[in-house]
Amino acid sequence: MARILITNDDGFQAPGIRALAPAIAELGHDVVVVAPLDDQSGVGSARAGLVDRPIRTVTEDEHGIAYRGVAGTPALAVTLATLGSFGPAPDLVLSGINRGHNIGIPIFHSGTVAAALTAAGQGMSAVAISIDSEDPVHWSTAATMAAEALGWIASEPAGTVLSLNVPDRPLDELSGVRHATLAPIKNSRLMSTTAPTGEPMITLEPDRSDVPPGSDKALLRAGYVTVSPLVGIRVLPDEDAATALAKRLSSYR
């Protein structure tokens, strides 16, 4: 069995990570849990506090699993675990279960997704798992989907990353599992108001328009588990931009 790092961006005491870790441990995997001390939602791939500063850690034991909290972000938790701060480096990474979905192009802001992409950048495959509710009931459904996805990425090339969004439903009420594109960003409405102090304020209202049928947003609404394979930062094998820039800069010599 593999050594699995489990992290999240909701904090090491969050119910999602406390539901996921036992489900993976029951499969016989060597589970190491390292996550932020507190809620780090929306921090993306930030790794503040990594260099030249002691990093506070806290450990809580629950049902034979050590849950470690670090004073930092999900990406920092992945980096520390990979460097061997909590024993041998992991083979694979699970990030979640996030409370609330992570869908559309804006997932690059998500600490949950960024943790999975950070793992890929360090040579490991990873799955980011989110449940489509701010007050979830069916954590076990998402944990089951995470376990199935873990089994799949274990046989895929290193650096494989999946983003899973799971409806908050019983397992037998899911519509199925579908590959999903990321819903596009559309213009949101800006509202200008004035604070009681007289200062100007801006409110950004969310986009509630229809979305493409095969997108994660549309499929999740229809009760499907959405699977979106992701690729992190990479250099494309196209040198046209570099060549064009080199020609422009040549005039400065």
Has 98 been labeled as part of a binding site? yes
Confirm if 187 and 207 have CB atoms less than 8 A apart: yes
For the chain, the helix, strand and coil percentages under 3-state DSSP, each to the nearest 5? 30, 30, 45
Q: Which residues contact 109 (CB under 8 A, 6 or more apart)?
A: 42, 44
Confirm if 219 and 174 have CB atoms less than 8 A apart: no
Residues in the chain: 253
Has 38 been labeled as part of a binding site? no
Has 140 been labeled as part of a binding site? no
143-173: b (≥16 Cβ within 10 Å) or e: bbbbbebbeebeeeeebbbbbbbbbbbeeee
Confirm if 232 and 161 have CB atoms less than 8 A apart: yes
Q: What spatial distance separates the first Cα and last Cα of the chain, rounded to whole Å?
A: 58
Has 41 been labeled as part of a binding site? yes
> Shortest CA distance to 49 belongs to which of 68, 34, 70, 35?
70
Task: Provide the annotated binding site.
Answer: 9-10, 41, 98
Task: Provide the annotated binding site for a divalent metal cation.
Answer: 9-10, 41, 98
